[in-house]
Amino acid sequence: MDDLWIITSFVIIDDLMKHLDHHSQPLAQVSDAEVLTVAVVAAKYFQNHHERALCLMRGMVSLSGRLSISRFNRRLHALADWLGLVVETLASVWAQGEVFVIDRRPLPVCRRIRARALSQSPGPRVLWLLSGQKRKVL
């Protein structure tokens, strides 16, 4: 099994679901992207044996919470419409071999404060950064 393949698949599934404005239930211990990732891992490595894939993912501590096999099956059947899109997206990504990620969220701009006082202080250097209304000490 390839850990890099599993992690990359999870990231692609999670980003796809976020991009299409899908929100997991707030009380769920395991996200919907993790449920679909277990299903994809079962299809690739375990001939669609979901229980084996779920036990393996639990053992690798790849899941964020506990999930029984019956709860997994219920959640997977609720996400059945997503499974076709996820498989198609993963197939196109792995067939092409390269993915371009474009981040459209800008990073908060920080500016230095008290830069002159730093050079004059004999103690440890502390740099204050101001990002919006928040002060952070580095």
Contact of 108 with 132, CB cutoff 8 Å = yes
> How many Cβ atoms from other residues are within 10 Å of residue 75's Cβ?
21
Domain extent listing, the chain: 3-96, 108-138
- Cβ atoms of 29 and 65 closer than 8 Å: yes
Answer with the residue of higher pLDDT: 118 or 63: 63
pTM > 0.95: yes or no:
no
Q: Which letter does DSSP use for residue 15 in this model? A: H
| Predicted pLDDT of residue 120 | 58
Q: What does the angle CA 22 – CA 24 – CA 30 come to, to the nearest 5 degrees?
A: 135
Convert the pLDDT of each residue in 12-50 to its tens digit.
999 999 999 888 888 888 899 999 999 999 999 999 899
Q: pLDDT tens, 74-116? A: 999 999 999 889 888 888 888 876 666 666 665 555 555 555 5
Has residue 2 got a pLDDT over 60? yes
Q: What is the mean pLDDT of residues 121-134?
A: 53
Confidence (pLDDT) at 127: 52
